[in-house]
């Protein structure tokens, strides 16, 4: 499997980072995890044919994880996309979809074929030698999911936006690759009630001990204290720590 980090940024504007989006390619099929602002441009920069995208798995529907969806639909329509785009997400995906096409962008409604698939915890979607299973995360009161991707003998977990959960730690135990948000430094822990901070990430890594971790959805305030925050992580985890960057490619 080839994993490409299209966007690794946060809700804040960043000249070097698009908002969250991850492309995973397996046996010639392309699928997305989230599609925040700037994702489509990253696809163009990497010369990836967006018409090969088969599925999008949304963790939740905050704008920094979903705002390029309408842009993708419009571009697919203008480029004569003839396949069916399958989209998956938490139970409120139907409400969100209706708001997008019946409220905000009615001119895009039915321009391409889209299949909407609401998911519940524990659901497993199988396709092309891949199984994608929903895992419990917690992003305040926002309906949200994490995703465990299994293929061959490999496992990858994408946390989405979340505070630490026992379910993520359990699913990430011994995993090949954990892609986890790390939003803020510990100095902002008291203000961070819906995201993970460094000391919490250290605890996750110590308990789960994945082979590698990629840190994403990082706010500028974390980078201001990066050296100290990395030292905290390394005290608890001896594995491979990667600070995710846009257009970074990982082969598993």
117 C-beta neighbours (distance < 10 Å), count: 14
CATH of the domain at 209: 3.60.15.10
d(CA 246, CA 181): 14
pLDDT in tens, 57-90: 999 999 999 999 999 999 999 999 999 999 999 9
pLDDT value of position 24: 98
Q: Cβ distance 63 to 39 under 8 Å?
A: no
Residues 6 or more apart whose Cβ sits within 8 Å of residue 39: 6, 7, 18, 19, 21, 32, 68, 72
Number of domains within the chain: 1
Spatial CA neighbour of 36 closest among 9, 67, 78: 67
pLDDT of 190 over the 90 cut = no
The pLDDT mean for the chain works out to 97
pLDDT in tens, 118-163: 999 999 999 999 999 999 999 999 999 999 999 999 999 999 999 9
Q: How far apart are the first and last CA of the chain?
A: 5
**Domain of residue 123, residue span:** 2-251
- pTM of the predicted structure, to 2 decimals: 0.97
CA dihedral 84, 88, 92, 94 (to 10 degrees): 10
Query: pLDDT band for position 191 (50/70/90)?
Result: confident
Residues 6 or more apart whose Cβ sits within 8 Å of residue 111: 73, 74, 76, 77
d(CA 68, CA 202): 32
Residues 6 or more apart whose Cβ sits within 8 Å of residue 141: none
pLDDT in tens, 24-69: 999 999 999 999 999 999 999 999 999 999 999 999 999 999 999 9
pLDDT in tens, 95-112: 999 999 999 999 999 999
């Amino acid at each position: 499997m080839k994993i490409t980090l299209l966007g690794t940024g946060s809700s804040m504007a960043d000249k070097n980072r698009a908002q969250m989006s991850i492309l995973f390619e397996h046996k010639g099929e392309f699928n997305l995890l989230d599609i925040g602002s700037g994702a489509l441009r990253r696809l163009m920069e990497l010369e990836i044919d967006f018409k090969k995208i088969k599925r999008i798995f949304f963790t939740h529907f905050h704008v920094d994880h979903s705002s390029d969806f309408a842009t993708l639909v419009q571009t697919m329509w203008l480029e004569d996309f003839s396949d069916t785009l399958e989209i998956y997400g938490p139970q409120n995906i139907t409400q969100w979809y209706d708001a997008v096409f019946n409220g905000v962008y009615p001119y895009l409604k039915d321009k391409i074929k889209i299949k909407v698939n609401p998911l519940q915890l524990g659901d497993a979607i199988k396709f092309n030698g891949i199984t994608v299973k929903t895992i419990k995360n917690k992003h305040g009161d926002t309906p949200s999911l994490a995703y465990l991707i299994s293929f061959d003998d490999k496992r990858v977990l994408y946390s989405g936006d979340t505070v630490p959960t026992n379910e993520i730690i359990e699913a990430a135990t011994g995993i090949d690759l954990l892609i986890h948000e790390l939003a803020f430094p510990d100095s902002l822990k008291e203000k961070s009630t819906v995201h993970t901070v460094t000391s919490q990430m250290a605890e996750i890594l110590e308990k789960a001990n994945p082979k590698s971790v990629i840190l994403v959805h990082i706010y500028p305030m974390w980078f201001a204290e990066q050296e100290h925050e990395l030292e905290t992580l390394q005290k608890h985890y001896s594995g491979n720590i990667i600070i995710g960057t846009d257009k970074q490619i990982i082969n598993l």
